[in-house]
């Protein structure tokens, strides 16, 4: 190993990965993904799709998941800074309904491994951010689910600076909360 450092989180299954960065006066080099290193760290998934998005300051995307085709995700920021958040939606999990957030940036180069059955979203804190992620299943547009980013039953502590106006898709403003999710999906 040695090419990555892996930190576990309070919610089982979540992992923060920091790659080794080799720099000199020309810039830097790092491996963002190596199957063997990740497998040794307990992340033995096959990723089948890579996605990338660009957003401006104040954009909040989330909280998203796929219902019947859940995905493991490996997320990172390649430009700018975001506050990345997940909510545990795993049936029977002792941390069901709990959230965890990580500051991801081009500067800290951290990656966040998110197992299946977590809702996921992020808030852009820099003027501009590019967000990239790997998924273990393909995107199915008719399989989207979501929960409100500001559901008081979850209580996510978003680091929203005073005066920041949130920019969200219409879809993301209409998700129900955790209780609506539970009723719709027969959870708990």
pLDDT digits (tens, 9 = 90+) for 86-141: 999 999 999 999 999 999 999 999 999 999 999 999 999 999 999 999 999 999 99
Strand order in the sheet with 49-56: 4-8, 15-19, 111-114, 73-79, 128-135, 49-56
Residue 56, domain extent: 4-185
pLDDT at position 2 is: 60
> Can you tell me the distance from the alpha carbon of 146 to that of 118, in angstroms, rounded to the nearest whole number?
10
Q: How confident is the model at residue 1 (pLDDT cuts 50, 70, 90)?
A: very low
pTM reported for the whole predicted model: 0.94
* Residue 14 in this model has a pLDDT that exceeds 90: yes
CATH code for position 51: 2.60.120.10
* Residue 145 in this model has a pLDDT that exceeds 70: yes
pLDDT digits (tens, 9 = 90+) for 161-187: 999 999 999 999 999 999 999 998 887
Task: Clarify whether 100 is annotated catalytic.
Answer: no
Task: Clarify whether 133 is annotated catalytic.
Answer: yes
pLDDT at position 188 is: 61
Bridging pattern class, strands 49-56 and 60-66? unpaired
List 133, 139, 149, 181, catalytic entry: 133
In this structure, the number of other CB atoms found within 10 A of the CB of residue 1 comes to 12
Full DSSP string of 102-141 = EEEETTT--EEEE-SSEEEEEEE-SSEEEEEEEESS---G
Q: Which residues of 86-114 are buried (b: 16+ CB within 10 A; e: fewer)?
A: bbbbbeeeebbbebbbbebbeeebbbbbb
List 28, 33, 35, 64, catalytic entry: 64
Query: Into how many domains does the chain fold?
Result: 1
pLDDT at position 185 is: 84
Q: How confident is the model at residue 3 (pLDDT cuts 50, 70, 90)?
A: confident
């Amino acid at each position: 190993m040695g090419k990555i450092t892996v930190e576990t989180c309070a919610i089982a299954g979540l992992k923060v990965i920091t790659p080794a960065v080799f720099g000199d006066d020309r810039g830097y080099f790092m491996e963002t993904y190596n199957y063997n290193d990740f497998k040794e760290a307990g992340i033995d998934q096959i990723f089948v799709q890579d996605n990338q998005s660009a957003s401006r300051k104040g954009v909040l995307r989330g909280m998203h998941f796929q219902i019947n085709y859940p995905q493991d995700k490996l997320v990172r920021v390649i430009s700018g800074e975001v506050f990345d958040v997940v909510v545990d939606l795993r049936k029977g999990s002792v941390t069901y309904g709990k959230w965890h957030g990580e500051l991801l940036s081009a500067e800290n180069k951290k990656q966040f491994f998110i197992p299946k059955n977590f809702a996921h979203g992020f808030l852009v804190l820099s003027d501009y951010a590019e967000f990239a992620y790997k998924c273990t299943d393909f995107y199915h547009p008719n399989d989207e689910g979501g929960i409100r980013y500001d559901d008081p039953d979850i209580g996510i502590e978003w680091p929203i600076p005073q005066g920041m106006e949130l920019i969200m898709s219409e879809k993301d403003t209409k998700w129900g909360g955790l209780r609506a999710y539970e009723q719709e999906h027969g959870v708990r």
